[in-house]
Amino acid sequence: MSGIPPSLEKLAELMAKFPGIGRKSARRIAFSLLDRPREDIILLARAFLDVKDNVRRCPVCNHITESEPCDICQNPRRDSSVICVVKDSMDVLAIEKTTVFHGKYHVLGGLISPLNGIGPDDLSIEPLLIRAKEIHELVFAINSSVEGEMTMHYIRKMLSNCPVSISYLARGIPIGSDLEFVDDATLARALQSRIELKGE
């Protein structure tokens, strides 16, 4: 487009490939560089390469890490007999933030999705099946989307001969939500899974 310096357009193009960044915000980011000191930009360029060079997948749980195994896998105070299975590393962070889970994790790296050509072999499922033999409980913290259900079903099937107890996150009304804003499927599930109010 007329009026955009080529190097700026090039950067905007590269930035727009990142998740959640559209063409317009990619340009806005590129533009904003002009008002920032060169040292900041060097730091940033360096930070991109540092992540690429230092961060890898934990060989045990597949979570991102700079140490091998990762901090969570290494932590002796965490319960090794419970594994929480999640889609990606962002989910580990979300669960860690709640501070209520004290077991370990397994990051699948995606969900089975035949439409997108993602099969079980593209995910970290085989290592999970091996780990599952040594634990008491496996908790699925996975969305109940078509892909999520498919993935949970596949793993459950593969573990049918394994004595591990399998659970999944409770489905129901989000805390603080008004009933009128909850979707039908969630409301139906919350009704079916209603919890008895016990007397004193």
Please identify which residue in 47, 146, 188, 191 interacts with a second copy, judged by CB under 8 A. 47
Query: Does 62 interact with a second copy (rule: CB under 8 A)?
Result: no
Would you state the structure tokens that stand for residue 101, as one six-digit string?
Answer: 């889970």
Amino acid at 92: V
Could you say which residues in the range 69-88 bind a second copy, by CB under 8 A? 70-72, 88
Would you state the structure tokens that stand for residue 120, as one six-digit string?
Answer: 């079980």
With contacts defined by CB under 8 A, name the span among 16-24, 111-119, 158-166, 190-198 that binds a second copy: 16-24
With contacts defined by CB under 8 A, name the span among 48-56, 136-144, 145-153, 185-193 that binds a second copy: 48-56
Query: Does 46 interact with a second copy (rule: CB under 8 A)?
Result: yes
Query: Does 116 interact with a second copy (rule: CB under 8 A)?
Result: no
The whole-angstrom separation of Cα 79 and Cα 159 is 21
Query: Does 20 interact with a second copy (rule: CB under 8 A)?
Result: yes
- What residues contact residue 78 under an 8 Å CB cut-off, 6+ apart? 72, 102, 103, 104
What is the enclosing helix (H) or strand (E) of 137? Answer: strand 137-140
Closer residue to a second copy, CB minimum distance, 92 or 125:
92
Query: Does 98 interact with a second copy (rule: CB under 8 A)?
Result: no
Any alpha helices (H) in the chain, and if so which ranges?
A: 6-15, 23-32, 38-54, 71-74, 89-98, 126-132, 146-158, 184-192
Interstrand relation of 165-168 and 82-86 (parallel, antiparallel or unpaired): unpaired
By CB under 8 A, name the binding residues for a second copy. 1-8, 10-11, 14-15, 18-21, 25, 27-34, 36, 38, 40-57, 63-66, 70-72, 88-90, 92-93, 96-97
